[in-house]
Amino acid sequence: MPNSFEPTSGPITNKEGFKLEVDRDLCVTLAVCLGVAPDIYSLDAEGKAVIKDPTLTNLETILESCKACPVNAIVLHHPNGKRIWPDPEVNLQGEPV
Ligand code: SF4
């Protein structure tokens, strides 16, 4: 991860095309996501979750963090454009659910 990367709410798209975003309007700063995926998120000055690892390599853990957010503020899309979380249309493999 480049040191110059500035943590952001996203959306961030990794090299495979998976897209991750934190909805700042929904995020209520509970930091549950940090508990699940401390390597992925940090909190910004407003206490909102931001993504600090743009590689999005561990998608299983990222999906767990999406599911753990009590207000569904973390949105994950498959490279095929379908939503993995919340209100899943496809799973991580892109198969309909
Ligand atoms: S768990 Fe959800 S509400 Fe809490 S900080 Fe993370 S994104 Fe925000």
Can you list the domains of the chain with their CATH numbers? Answer: 12-85 (3.30.70.20)
**pLDDT tops 80 at residue 2:** no
Choose which residue among 12, 23, 32 to substitute to test ligand 1 binding: the one with the highest number of ligand atoms within 8 A of its C-beta. 32
Instruction: Of 49, 41, 55, 72, give the one whose Cα is nearest residue 12.
Output: 55
CB 68 within 8 A of CB 61: no
pTM: 0.95
Tell me the pLDDT tens digit for each residue of 77-94. 999 999 999 999 999 999
> Which residue has the CA at smallest separation from atom 3 of ligand 1?
27
CB 63 within 8 A of CB 92: yes
- At 4, is the pLDDT very low, low, confident or very high (cuts 50, 70, 90)? confident
Choose which residue among 8, 48, 50 to substitute to test ligand 1 binding: the one with the highest number of ligand atoms within 8 A of its C-beta. 48
* Two tokens, residue 94: 């892109």
Tell me the pLDDT tens digit for each residue of 14-34. 999 999 999 999 999 889 999
CB 56 within 8 A of CB 19: no
